[in-house]
Structure 1
Amino acid sequence: MSQSGSPVADDLPVARPVDASERVVLLDALRGFALWGVFVSNSLMWLSGRAFMPREAASALDAPLLEQVIGAIYQLFVTQKFISIFSFLFGLGFALQFTRAESRGVSAAPLYRRRLLMLFGIGLAHALLLWTGDILHTYAMVGFLLMAFRARSNRTVLFWALGLVTVMPFLVPAAIRYTPILLHGAEAAAEAAKASQARDMALRADTLVALSSESFWTAQVGNARFFLENLGGGFRRVLWMSLILGRFLLGLLAGRLLVLQDVERHRALLRRILGWGLSVGLVLNGGGLLLFRLRKAGVLEWDPKGPWMMIVNGFQEPGYIAMGAAYVAAFALLFQRERWSRWLGVLSPVGRMALTNYLMQSAVSIWIYDGWGLGFIGKLPPSRIVVICCVIFAAQVVLSRLWLARFRFGPAEWLWRSLTYGRVQPMRRLAGDGGVPGVSAP
């Protein structure tokens, strides 16, 4: 870090990156765990091309019994749970940064705004140049909304968090369905919805053709076009950003209450979260999965655009949050046991380099799936995709540990910090730093 030339300036408190001694190993290990689940979700639905495929083609890949079992496990235990944890940790990291800045007598707000702007730029580049499913630019935008809550009371934060994750999943889909009917009439609204669906299917088909091309340029132009075409998103974008903000706020509240920074003091609370989270999550998500399966099998005849389907979908989000909270509680409680701490601690380096590893996952995956690479897009069943994810993630665990034994940050983290602070951050670890340090939210 650059030195000030003024003795007076040197005595002033300044914003700086978090020291290794200030980091919480549990949080980075948990982030590494979440990153694995996010990678599996991204690969199964998007990176492998499944989201762009016709329903019949995707169903053919899912037909064998093994694939059906894996699909059910994914839907019940993986989908949206790990992105919930990842978002929760973003909010918790926000709380930590502002608390630490206040303890040093400095304002974290100006620095955090620059941090979010740099994250938005990295995310936009990621979406346009690598993979359309980027979440970073959305996190940055919602991060500015999160800042509005930095001085609000815990009760207000909890009120908004619960409202966003329980009310918005019902309110926004209702607005999507009924607002056009009220404005234009049922018949015109139905025609508009049909036309919108046709445009979306055509765009997805064109994107799949582009990604299947042997030309890297064609594939990436198709990727960028899909991202730009969906950049607005309308009500659906509002819903997605609302849900992310709700998860951020839950993390902010947990960070203020030191739930994961002082697990021993909150052991009883975490046990209750584990029990209630699993119960509520299994009932809501398991019940939803059962109803969807019965409808697919023809046992239940529900209009996919009718009110009952909208209600069932609305209950899924609280289920995701409950199950994700249970995972967090279980992870934190297990981490207090010495043997489990050693095993789960191997995820700490990959969690500390979460940004680098997230971008690396995109780069490696488009090479595996896109036509200019190995060309597996739209060809692999879920079981093989999961195996590929686990192999890549295992390699990242090893590489992250080797990298952090020599360097203070991952490459992307170093770039992010350097851009945020407006000066090049020292990259190499000092001789006296020892091994890989404990870590916390970036």
Structure 2
Amino acid sequence: MSDSRVLSSETSSRIEFLDILRGVAILFIFLVNIQHLSGVHYYSEEFESQFLFPDFQHFLEMLFFVLFTGKFYFIFSLLFGIGFVVQYQNIVKRNLPYKQFFIRRMLALLVIGLIHLFFIWSGDILTLYAVLGLTLIFFVDFDDRRLLKWAFVLLLLPIVHWLFMYATRTYYYYPLFDFVHEQAAELDLVTPASKVTDQPRFDASQRIATDDFSTWFQMQVVLPVMRLGLIIMEGRLFKVLALFLLGMWAGRKILREHLLDDQEFLKKLVFWGFIIGIPFNILFGILKFPDLITGNFRNFLNHLSFAIGVTSMAFAYAASIALLVRSRPNLLRWFAPVGRMALTNYLSQSFLGILIFHGIGFGYFGVFSFSEIIAIAMLLFVLQVVFSVLWLRRFRYGPVEWVWRQTTYGRRLPLRR
């Protein structure tokens, strides 16, 4: 989602790495998102038993969760912070007012995000990025040590936030969930048990399966309220801002101190990232089974395992990719076009997921097993790679990136090469 073209040729290899890393992140974000878009998470055990090798499907899903879930959103957020540093450096070099530029850029992203959130998929991350991105203006003059201190505190705040809610019994996101459940009841999109207990509970699988566009859309404009509740519950405001600040720190190191050339540092990051990250991510996976660890202690461990495990493993993945790009530059280069069109590809993934699996589209909800859905996502991503390569041969930017740039600069910009 960044503009690499404004940079000098001296930094082109570093920017290519960022495009590659962004492309890899887009792939794994899609592999996570398609599980929600397809509704595979909402299959009952009885329903899953109809597929071939159901135990293998469960194992694969758990393995995927432990190894990948959350890690590439983390990397994507880091890249956002890195992109801010790159843009800031280039705006200052051109003697332009960076505050006005970045505010316009974030407001334009906010509009794109809100359209995605309310009209396509409630799992949107762009709206949150745009809102929190505006705060980066206040951190631009912080030195590296101060950025790291703020990031460290923010990563721990979700734990403190949860402890506060637990101690005071102020779970202030509950009314947001209750509102969504009530709206779902009016549309008859609740679980069968809800009708017996008279306590409405939104049934996401019914909403995915419905072919009534009016019902689907009425629920779509309500679901962002649940999204807000989840963001509050998980302390995601703190997490994402922490990652933005870590990205700013990394961006400075990349541009000023040639961080990507420091192989010893990258190797240590890989080693310690996996050593620390793997045990905590195994715990992160175990917490998916509420019968094994119950109650509020489970919630505490969930926040702790994210703060330590997901963070460590994401850094290990990013450093591994940096080392691989350096040692075998052509191996991952095909990810770069996808990374340059990350915004277009991210939005199109949501659209394709709705089109293929939801009842208002082709209605393939409940048809495929977990492994088949992952295979479908891989196939769709290959098509995105081909599309990105062909598009960038003729055009300067991805279509949504072009709209975003024009809105930011306030004038018409050439699209064709």
Tell me what 2:60 maps to.
70
Which runs of 5 or more structure 2 residues have no equivalent in the other structure?
Answer: 185-189, 192-199
2:40–2:370: 8 Å Cα contact kept in structure 1?
Answer: no
Cα separation, 1, equivalents of 2:256 and 2:113: 28
Q: Which residue of 1 aligns with 2:285?
A: 289
Task: Tell me which residue corresponds to 2:409.
Answer: 421
Q: 1:103 aligns with which of 93, 98, 111?
A: 93
Q: Quote how far apart the aligned CAs of 1:171 are.
A: 1.1
3-state SS of 1:258 partner: helix
Per-residue deviation, residues 201-222 of structure 1 (Å, max 9, x unmatched): 7676355433322233432332
1:180 aligns with 2:177: no
Shifted more, 325-334 versus 100-109: the winner is: 100-109
Distance between the aligned counterparts of 1:109 and 1:193, measured in 2? Answer: 34
Match for residue 226 of structure 1? 223
Judge conservation of contact 1:157–1:253 (CA < 8 Å) in 2: yes
Q: Which residue of 2 aligns with 1:118?
A: 108
Q: Aligned pair in 2 of structure 1 residues 39, 150: CA closer, same or farther (>3 Å)?
A: same
Aligned to 1:266: 262
Q: Is the Cα–Cα contact under 8 Å of residues 211 and 218 in structure 1 kept in the other structure?
A: no
Aligned partner letter, 1:154: D
User: What residue is the counterpart of 1:323 in the other structure?
Assistant: 313
Tell me which residue corresponds to 1:3. Answer: none
Distance 1:211 1:197 in 2: 15
Shift in Å at residue 375 of structure 1? Answer: 1.0
CA 1:257–1:378: 2 relative to 1, 3 Å: same
In structure 2, what is the Cα distance between the partners aligned to 1:29 and 1:261?
20
Q: Which residue of 1 aligns with 2:149?
A: 159
Distance 1:350 1:197 in 2: 35
Q: Tell me whether 1:39 sits opposite 2:24 in the alignment.
A: no
Task: Give the stretch that moved more between structures: 143-152 or 260-269.
Answer: 260-269
Say whether residues 1:90 and 2:46 are aligned partners: no
CA apart distance, 1:228? 3.8
Distance in 2, Cα, partners of 1:86 & 1:350: 13
Alignment correspondent of 1:241: 237
| Aligned equivalents of 2:124, 2:373: Cα separation in 1 | 19
Give the C-alpha shift of residue 254 in structure 1.
0.4
Three-state SS of the structure 2 residue aligned to 1:376 is: coil
- Normalised by the size of structure 2, how large is the TM-score? 0.86
SS in 1 for 2:202: helix
Number of equivalences: 396
Deviation at 1:232, TM superposition (A): 5.6
- Where 2:411 maps in the other structure, the secondary structure is coil
The answer as to whether partners of 1:273 and 1:329 remain within 8 angstroms in 2 is yes
Q: Which residue of 1 aligns with 2:249?
A: 253
* Counterpart in the other structure of 2:187: none
The verdict on how the C-alpha distance between 1:20 and 1:234 changes in structure 2, with shifts beyond 3 A counting, is: closer
1:320 CA displacement: 0.6
> Structure 2 CA distance, aligned partners of 1:110 and 1:216?
40
- The equivalent of 1:366 in structure 2 is 354
Q: Residues 317 and 58 (structure 1 numbering): CA distance in 2 closer, same or farther, change over 3 Å?
A: farther
Contact 1:260 1:332 in 2 (8 A): no
**Residues 41 and 412 of structure 1: is their aligned pair in 2 closer, same or farther, counting only changes over 3 Å?**
same
- Listed one character per residue, the Cα deviations across residues 383-433 of structure 1 (whole Å, up to 9, x for unaligned) are 11101110000000011000000000000000000111111110001xxxx
Query: How far apart are residue 56 of structure 1 and its match?
Result: 5.2
Aligned counterpart for 2:332 among listed residues 329, 338, 344:
344
Letter in 1 for 2:368: L
Whole-Å Cα distance in 2 between the matches of residues 193 and 420 of structure 1?
33
Tell me the equivalent position of 1:29.
Answer: 20
The answer to whether the Cα contact below 8 Å between 1:407 and 1:428 also exists between their aligned partners in 2 is yes
Root-mean-square deviation over aligned CA pairs:
3.1
Q: Aligned-pair distance for 1:374?
A: 1.9
| CA-to-aligned-CA distance 1:47-100 (integer Å, 9 cap, x gap) | 11245x376567658981221221122111110001000000000011111112
Change (3 A) 1:113 1:17: farther
Q: Secondary structure at the match of 1:76?
A: helix
Distance of aligned partners of 1:194 and 1:81 in 2 relative to their CA distance in 1, 3 Å threshold: closer
TM-score (norm 1): 0.81
Given that residues 180 and 222 in structure 2 are in contact (C-alpha distance below 8 angstroms), is that contact kept between their aligned partners in structure 1? no
CA deviation map 1:240-261 (0-9, x unaligned):
1110011111110000111798
Alignment of 1:299-338 (within 5 A): 300=292, 302-303=293-294, 305-337=295-327
Counterpart Cα distance in 2 of 1:192 and 1:130? 24
Three-state SS of the structure 1 residue aligned to 2:336 is helix
8 A contact 2:7–2:90 mirrored in 1: no
The worse-fitting range, judged by mean Cα deviation, of 55-64 and 224-233 is 55-64
Do 2:177 and 2:226's aligned partners in 1 also have CA atoms closer than 8 Å?
no
